[in-house]
Structures are given as structure tokens and as C-alpha cells.
Structure 1
Amino acid sequence: MKNKYRILKIAITVIILGFLLSFSLKKFSGQKITDNKISVKMNEKTPVYFIDEKDIREIVKKENPSGKVGDLNIPALEKKINNLPAVDSANVYLNLNGKLNLDIKQRVPVFRLNKDGRDFYVDEKGVEFPISKTYSHPCMLVTGDVQKDEYQKLAELIEKIDKDDFSKKYFIGISKNYKGDYNLLTSEGNYKVEIGDLDNIEFKVKGFKTFVEKYLVYQDPQKYNRISVKYQNQIVTTLNPNFKENDSILNVGNKELTKASIVPAAKKITETQPKVTEVKKPSPSKPKENVKPKAVTKPKETKKTEKKATAAKPKAKVKIE
């Protein structure tokens, strides 16, 4: 009898609890999700504004037109928000008091890439997402045919630039040329800093910093067209042809090149002079009869030519030696 009474008591308790639970669930599912019961939190460390709280609330209303808790499909709403290009992750859940919570993390651009006439952002994970019509995030601009497998190294390079006060002051952009070499665009002057590949970045930036502190600070930044640090243990500079002070330097260089091209021709002339003088030199073995015709036609001129020939003899010997 005692066991039967105990079983009956448990059964009645379960029925009562089930009734109360179903009643509370029915009442809970009929509640309205008002604006004050929607909590939207953006959890990114760096503030970005590709989407705002207003956008999220509009999505909630579209997914749940009735506004009732029972009609809300939480997994579908969460998937809808996660599919937004600028959203990295989203977590949607309900409290027992009927409050809807949305924890959202937006993508933070590391750089903006201009490739094949198309602009888009790339985050720290190497994920591409489109630019916004209403918001532009300040970040490094990169141009050129950058491949996806280079995104990670580019992100590391930009992170190092942002953390270093010197680099952050000088470098405002990155470009990749048709040869595959990377160049850092500077805020001073029109010159580029050629770094080649994305390896040994710290060493290359350190070399440029040394060049700036020990030499470039005493020069006009417009003087150079390119400063290359891609070679190991050396810095190669290219002068700007449009800079007026470089005109004299470039002209001197051109003159040196022309001199170098003229020198072989001058040597040939000096070598031929002794030969010419040797040909004009009268041979002692020739008879006097050969000399007479010249003396008859132009007696005065023959004497002069003989004097010139005799005078040219020591000079020809000196040049030959």
C-alpha cells in the first residue's frame, strides 16, 4: 500500500509540473519581442561600422514578422546574420525572461586591395569581403597582382608597420610590380622603397631606417626616385631625373659614358699616326732620281715636307713606346 501511494504521488506531481510547464511555455511563446528586449553587442576590439545595431534589428523583424517568441527561428536568424560579408561570427540566444541577445563580431580589415580594377578588403584571416557604400575603414592600401597565399605575409608586414612608430610615419601603401617585387610607398617625396619579396622584412626595414637617420635626413626627399633594400647588406638608390639638382650629376655621368665610348677611337688614331709618318719617311736606299720629280714640281714644298718628316720622327717613337 505504501509503494502504491508513493507511485501515485509521483505521478500526480509529474502531471502538475507538466501542466505548469506547458502553460508557461505557451505563455512564453506568445510574448512579443519588443525593441527593448533585443540586445545587440559588437564584440570586435577595433571599432568598425560596416553594420550597426539598426541593421541587425531590421533583420530580426524580417525574420520574425509577428514578433512573437514562438515564431522566432533562432538557427535561421543566426545563419542569416553569419552570411553577411562583413560579419565574422554571430551568436543568437533567448533568455528565460524573453530577451533576445545577439553577440556579433565584425571583420576588421588589415588592408584594402586594388586588383584587376576591383577594390575589396582582406581581414587578418585572409578572407576577402567587399567595401561598404556607407563606411570606409582606414587601413593600408595595396595594389598589384597579389595572390591569396600572400595575404598572410602581407598581414604580418602591415602589423609590424603599425606597431613601429618610424614605419607607421613613413609607409602609407604597398604596391606589387609586374616582376613580382614589392615596393613600400612613402609619405615623403616621390620615391619608393623596394623590398623585393616578403621575407626578412624586419632586416629590410631596419636597413631603410638606418639610411634615413644617417643620410636621407640631410637630403631633399625629392632627390630620389627609388631606394632599394632588397639586396643583402647594401642599399641601392636611383636619382630622380625630374629633380633639378640632379641635372648636373646626371650630365656628368653621361659625359663619363661618352668619354668611355670615345677612348677606344682615340687610341686607334694615335696608333695610325706613327704608321702614317713611317710611310712618308723617305728611305735611304732609294736613288736620288726618285726625289728629283718632287723637287722639280714643287721645290719649296719638298723642303718643308722633309723638315716635317724629320721633326715627326721623335714624336712617333714616343707614342709607340
Structure 2
Amino acid sequence: MKNKYRILKIAITVIILGFLLSFSLKKFSGQKITDNEISVKMNDKTPVYFIDEKDIREIVKKENPSGKVGDLNIPALEKKINNLSAVDSANVYLNLNGKLNLDIKQRVPIFRLNKEGRDFYVDERGIEFPISKTYSHPCMLVTGNVKKDEYEKLAELVEKIDKDDFSKKYFIGISKDKNGDYNLLTSEGNYRVEIGDLDNIDFKVKGFKTFVEKYLVYQDPQKYNMVSVKYQNQIVTTLNPYFKENDSILKAGNKELAKTPVIPVKKTDDKPKLSEPKKETKKPSSTPLKPKQNTKPKTVTKPKENKKTEKKPTAAKPKTKAKVKIE
């Protein structure tokens, strides 16, 4: 009998608890979520404003028009916010008191890429997302046909530039040319710094820094058109053709080239003289055809005379060369 009473007590308590629970759930589900009960937190280390709190509240209202807790689909709302291009991650949850919490982390652009006439942002993980009509984030501008597998290395380069005071002062942009080489655009002058590929960036930037501190500081920044540091252990510079001082250097070089004597003109005059003894050698070749006698010592002496005649024009050659050198 005692066991029956215990079982009956347990059953009654369970029924009462179930009734109270269902009553509280109905009351909780019928509770409305007001604006004061919506908490939106933007967990961003770097402040970005692609999405503000007002935009998130509007999305909540569209997903839950009635505003009741029971009509709110939290997984669907969380998925909706995560699908936004500027959102990196979103976490949506309800408290026991009916307060809706939304923790949102936005994407932070590392650089802005202009590729094939299209502008978009790229974050630190190499993910593309479009630019906003209401907000423009200050970041490095990159131009050229950059491949997706180069996004992460390019993001590392931009972060190194932002952290280094020297690089941040000089470099304001990055471009990729048709040959596939990367160039750093500078704030001073019209020159660009050619770095080639994205390997050994620290070494290349250090080489340019030494060039600036030891040489470029004492020069006009308009003097150069390009400073290349893509080669190992050497720096190659290209002069700016529109700089006046460079024009004087080029003119001086042209004058030195004009002073050099032109020797090949007189060599062409000596060549026709060498062709005259060749005609004389053809005549003795016809004489041996007349008699076939054994006594032909005379014919042997004639080619000797021809040999002597051949030596005469050869002796005249050094005389003409000596005259050219004297001039």
C-alpha cells in the first residue's frame, strides 16, 4: 500500500509540474520582443561600419513580423545574418527572460582590389566581398590581375607594410604588371619599387630602405622612374625621361659617342684594290694550254712575278690603316 501511495504522489507532482511548465511556456511564447529586449553586439577589434545595429534590427523584424518569442525561428535568423557578405560570423540566442542577443563579427578588409574593371574587398583569409554604397574602409589599393591563390601572401605583405613605420610612410599602393611582377607605389616622386614575386618581402623592403637612407635622401625623388629590388644583392634604377637633369646626362652621353672616329668607311675603299691582282692570275692560266713541251721553266717564273705583285697591295694596307689612326 505504501508503494502505491508513493507512486500516486510522484504522478501527481509530475502532472502539476507539467501543467505549470506548459502554462509558463505558453506565457513565454506569447511574450513580445521589444526593441529594448534586443541586444546587438559588434565584436570587431578594428572598427568597421558595413552593417550597423539598425540594419540588424530590421532583419529581425522581417524574420519575426509578429514580434512574439514563439514565432521566432532562431536558426533561420542566424543563417540569414551569416549570409550577409560583410558578416564573418553571427551567434543568436535567447535568455530565460526573453531577451534576444545577437553577437556579430564583421569582415575586416585587408586590401581593396581593382581587377578587370571590378572593385571589391579581400579580408585576411583571402575571402572576397563587395564594397558598400554607404561606407568605404581605408585600406591598401591593389590593381592588376591578381590570382586567388595569391590573396593570402598579398594580405601578409599589406599587414607588414601597415606595421612598419618606414613602409607605411613610403608605400601607398600595390600594382601587378602584365609580366606578373609586383610593384609598390610610393608617395614621393613618380617612381615605383619593383619587387617581382611575393617571396622574401622582408629582404626586399630592407634593401630599398638602405637605398633610401644612404642615397635617395640626397637626390630629387623625381629623378627616378623605377627602383628594382627583385634581384638578389643588387638594386637597379631607371631614370625618369621627363626630368631635366636626366636630359643633360643623356645629351652628354650622346656627345661622347659623336666624338668617336668612324673607321669602317675607309676599309671599304681598300677592298676593290685587292681584286686587281686576281685578274692578272687568270692570264698565266691560259698560257700553258698552247705547247705541251717539257721545257717550261719560263712559265714557272711568271707566277713568281705574280706573287710579287700580290705582295705590293698587301704592303699598302697598313699604310692606309696608319692614316686612320692618326686622324
Q: Output the TM-score relative to the length of structure 2.
A: 0.82
Residue identity matched to 1:46: T
Moved more, 8-17 or 101-110: 8-17
The number of equivalent residue pairs is 284
Task: Provide the secondary structure at the position in 2 that maps to 1:245.
Answer: helix
Please tell me whether residue 71 in structure 1 is matched to residue 67 in structure 2: no
CA distance in 1, matches of 2:72, 2:271: 109
CA distance in 2, matches of 1:103, 1:77: 12
Q: 1:243 to 1:114 in 2, by over 3 A?
A: same
Please tell me whether residue 32 in structure 1 is matched to residue 28 in structure 2: no
> Residue 206 of structure 2 corresponds to which residue in structure 1?
206
> Residue 155 of structure 1 corresponds to which residue in structure 2?
155
For residue 267 of structure 1, the aligned residue among 245, 263, 268 is: 263
Please tell me whether residue 83 in structure 1 is matched to residue 79 in structure 2: no
Q: 1:256 to 1:153 in 2, by over 3 A?
A: farther
CA RMSD of aligned residues (A): 2.4
Task: Provide the secondary structure at the position in 2 that maps to 1:189.
Answer: coil
How far does residue 4 in structure 1 lie from its aligned partner after superposition? 1.4
Equivalent residues of 1:112, 1:140 under 8 A apart: yes
CA distance in 2, matches of 1:51, 1:320: 83
Q: Deviations over 1:117-145 (max 9, x none)?
A: 00000001111000000000000000000
Question: Within 5 Å, which residues of 2 pair with 1:147-296?
Answer: 147-256=147-256, 263=261, 266-269=262-265, 271=267
Question: Within 5 Å, which residues of 2 pair with 1:7-22?
Answer: 7-22=7-22
Q: 1:236 to 1:5 in 2, by over 3 A?
A: same
How far does residue 11 in structure 1 lie from its aligned partner after superposition? 1.0
Question: Within 5 Å, which residues of 2 pair with 1:100-139?
Answer: 100-139=100-139
Residue identity matched to 2:152: Q
Residue identity matched to 1:66: S
CA distance in 2, matches of 1:22, 1:240: 83
CA distance in 2, matches of 1:177, 1:320: 50
Residue identity matched to 1:90: A
Q: 1:320 to 1:43 in 2, by over 3 A?
A: closer
CA distance in 1, matches of 2:231, 2:25: 72
Residue identity matched to 2:62: K
Equivalent residues of 1:270, 1:319 under 8 A apart: no
Residue identity matched to 1:192: R
Task: Provide the secondary structure at the position in 2 that maps to 1:121.
Answer: strand
Q: Deviations over 1:256-306 (max 9, x none)?
A: 5566xx65xx2234557889999xxxxxxxxxxxxxxxxxxxxxxxxxxxx
Q: 1:197 to 1:104 in 2, by over 3 A?
A: same
Please tell me whether residue 99 in structure 1 is matched to residue 99 in structure 2: yes
Equivalent residues of 2:263, 2:324 under 8 A apart: no
CA distance in 1, matches of 2:252, 2:324: 32
Equivalent residues of 2:48, 2:108 under 8 A apart: yes
Equivalent residues of 2:182, 2:196 under 8 A apart: yes
CA distance in 2, matches of 1:169, 1:11: 78
Q: 1:318 to 1:250 in 2, by over 3 A?
A: closer
Residue identity matched to 1:205: V
Q: 1:256 to 1:20 in 2, by over 3 A?
A: farther
Equivalent residues of 2:226, 2:239 under 8 A apart: yes
Unaligned runs of 5+ in 1: 279-311
Identity %: 86
CA distance in 1, matches of 2:76, 2:98: 18
Q: 1:225 to 1:317 in 2, by over 3 A?
A: closer
How far does residue 241 in structure 1 lie from its aligned partner after superposition? 0.5
Residue identity matched to 2:198: L
Q: Deviations over 1:55-103 (max 9, x none)?
A: 0000000111110001101111111100110000000000000000000
CA distance in 1, matches of 2:55, 2:114: 28
Q: 1:320 to 1:251 in 2, by over 3 A?
A: closer
